[in-house]
């Protein structure tokens, strides 16, 4: 396991970042650094808790691994399943996909927005990285539509305001965790695509794996696209 920086390394880093011998400036830098480390650490831990929940692990199992009570683990992390997505970090294309999901749901006469609607909405943004990865692996809008219709038949009507399902909310929130894992400060369609795999029972995940795009393949494809983009810059 990669060791965390020891106390002396952390102190030296803070002093270097402060760029001055003024003790108050150093204190301010220390406070900011520790706050960032705490936030990043919490986000990273939440990322793996979400993945464990998506894999069907219980709060009892998770709390045992974390060494805390079930109540403590649930109180700290359960909110991440339904909390507000980090919309302010979404790229315009990602926002467009999320917005289009409601129209997709209405087109199927569904009264909710699920992961299947988010997946179909990717095809409204053909130039996005997530959609390009889908198409490159032979996953077309027609194929996804057929698979979704087979899994979730059309409804009988939908309302004006459609809410996201628990699983869809989990995907929207989890996309920020996928961005963090890749070291990105924005949430793109590629992160949204990877977030589907956090819940193996979601309709979108079932459709994707059924069409031949499992999580490891998606990860490899997205990394390859990102590396090519970096080389082109």
Classify residue 5: in a domain, yes or no.
no
- Based on the domain organization, do 122 and 210 belong to the same domain? yes
Regions of the chain short of the pLDDT cut 70: 1, 39, 54, 74, 78-85, 158-160
Supply the CATH number for residue 227's domain: 1.10.1780.10
- Based on the domain organization, do 139 and 67 belong to the same domain? no
What sign has the CA pseudo-torsion 63, 66, 69, 72? Answer: negative
- Based on the domain organization, do 67 and 92 belong to the same domain? no
Are the CB atoms for 97 and 192 separated by under 8 Å? yes
Classify residue 4: in a domain, yes or no.
no
Q: pTM here?
A: 0.69
Classify residue 143: in a domain, yes or no.
yes
- Based on the domain organization, do 44 and 114 belong to the same domain? no
Q: How confident is the model at residue 173, as a pLDDT? A: 85
Of the residues 32, 50, 77, which one is the last residue of a structural domain? 77
Of the residues 77, 100, 127, which one is the last residue of a structural domain? 77
User: Which residue segment(s) compose the domain that 53 sits in?
Assistant: 19-77
Residue 113 dihedral angles phi and psi, to the nearest 5°:
-115, 115
Structural domain count of the chain: 2
Of the residues 77, 97, 126, which one is the last residue of a structural domain? 77
Q: How confident is the model at residue 1, as a pLDDT? A: 67
Q: How confident is the model at residue 54, as a pLDDT? A: 64
Q: How confident is the model at residue 82, as a pLDDT? A: 41
């Amino acid at each position: 396991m990669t060791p965390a920086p020891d106390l002396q390394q952390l102190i030296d880093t803070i002093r270097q970042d402060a760029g001055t011998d003024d003790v108050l400036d150093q204190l301010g830098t220390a406070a900011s650094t520790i706050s960032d480390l705490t936030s990043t650490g919490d986000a990273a831990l939440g990322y793996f808790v979400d993945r464990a929940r998506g894999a069907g692990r219980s709060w009892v199992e998770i709390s045992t691994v974390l060494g805390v009570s079930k109540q403590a683990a649930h109180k700290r992390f359960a909110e991440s399943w339904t909390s507000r997505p980090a919309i302010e970090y979404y790229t315009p294309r990602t926002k467009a996909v999320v917005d289009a999901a409601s129209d997709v749901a209405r087109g199927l006469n569904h009264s909710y927005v699920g992961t299947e609607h988010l997946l179909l909405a990717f095809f409204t943004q053909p130039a996005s990285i997530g959609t390009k990865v889908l198409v490159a692996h032979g996953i077309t809008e027609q194929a996804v539509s057929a698979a979704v219709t087979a899994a979730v038949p059309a409804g009988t009507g939908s309302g004006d305001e459609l809410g996201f399902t628990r699983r869809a909310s989990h995907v929207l929130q989890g996309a920020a965790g996928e961005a963090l894992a890749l070291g990105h400060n924005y949430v793109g369609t590629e992160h949204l695509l990877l977030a589907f795999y956090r819940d193996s029972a979601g309709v979108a995940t079932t459709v994707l794996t059924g069409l031949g795009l499992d999580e490891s393949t998606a990860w490899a494809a997205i990394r390859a696209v990102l590396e090519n983009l970096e080389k082109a810059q």
